Amino acid sequence: MKKISAFLIIVFMFSFISFAEEEREIKIWVDENYVFSDVKPMIVNSRTQVPIRFIAEELGFDVKWLQDTREVVITDGKVNLRLKIDSDIAIKDGKEYKLDNKVFIKDSRTFLPLRFISESFLKKVDYHSETKTAIIGEKFDENAYYPIRFYKDDYKYSVKKSVRFMDNSVMDDKKFKTESDLLYYFTRPVTKVEQDNKKGLIDIKGNIVLDFSYDYIGYYNKGYFRFNKDDKMGLLDKLGNVVIEAKYDRIHDIEDNRLKVELDNKEGILDLHGNEIIEVKYDKIEYKRDGYYRFRQGKTFGYVTEDNKEILLPEYNYVSSFCQGVAVFNKDGKFGIMNKELKEIISGYTHINEFYYSDITTYKKDGKTGIIDNKGKELTKPEYDMIFISQPIWNYSHLIMAEKDGKSALIDKNGKALSEFKYDFLIPMSEKYIKFNIGGIYSHGDISGGKWGILDKNGKEVLKASYDEIGRSISPNGNIIAKKNDKYGIVNLSGKTVVDFKYDRIIDYSDGLAIFEIKMNSYRNKYGAFDEEGKIVLKPEYNWIGGFKNGLSLFGVSSKLKTGEVITKYGIMDKNRKVIIKPIYDDIGDYNFIEDVQVIF
* Residue numbers in the chain where pLDDT is lower than 50: 1-24, 160, 166-177, 394-396, 596-601
- Alpha helix ranges (H) inside 110-170: 114-120
Give the SS3 label for residue 158.
strand
List of residues 6+ apart from 424 with CB closer than 8 A: 407, 408, 436, 437, 438, 439, 440, 450
The predicted model scores a pTM of: 0.70
How many helices (H) and strands (E) are present in the chain, helices listed first? 4, 62
Note the residue count of the chain: 601
User: What's the gap between Cα 19 and its chain centre?
Assistant: 26
How far apart, in whole angstroms, are the C-alpha atoms of residue 342 and residue 351? 19
List of residues 6+ apart from 485 with CB closer than 8 A: 468, 501
- Alpha helix ranges (H) inside 334-378: none
How far apart, in whole angstroms, are the C-alpha atoms of residue 392 and residue 279? 33
Give the per-residue pLDDT at 3: 34
Tens digits of residue pLDDT in 103-120: 998 877 888 888 887 788
Tens digits of residue pLDDT in 460-489: 999 999 999 999 999 999 999 999 999 999
Question: Which residue segments constitute the domains of the chain, with CATH numbers given?
Answer: 18-172 (3.30.457.10)
387 CB burial (10 A radius; 0-12, 13-18, 19+): buried
Give the per-residue pLDDT at 15: 32
- Which 8-state DSSP code applies to residue 12? P
Taking every pair of C-alpha atoms in the chain, what is the biggest distance, in angstroms?
Answer: 86
Distances in whole angstroms, Cα of residue 78 to Cα of each of 53, 92, 122, 137, 582: 19, 11, 11, 19, 48
| Residue 148: closest CA among 69, 35, 275 | 35
| Residue 257: closest CA among 306, 233, 226, 222 | 222
Q: How many CA atoms lie within 13 A of 593 on its CB side?
A: 28
Give the per-residue pLDDT at 350: 97
- Which 8-state DSSP code applies to residue 180? H
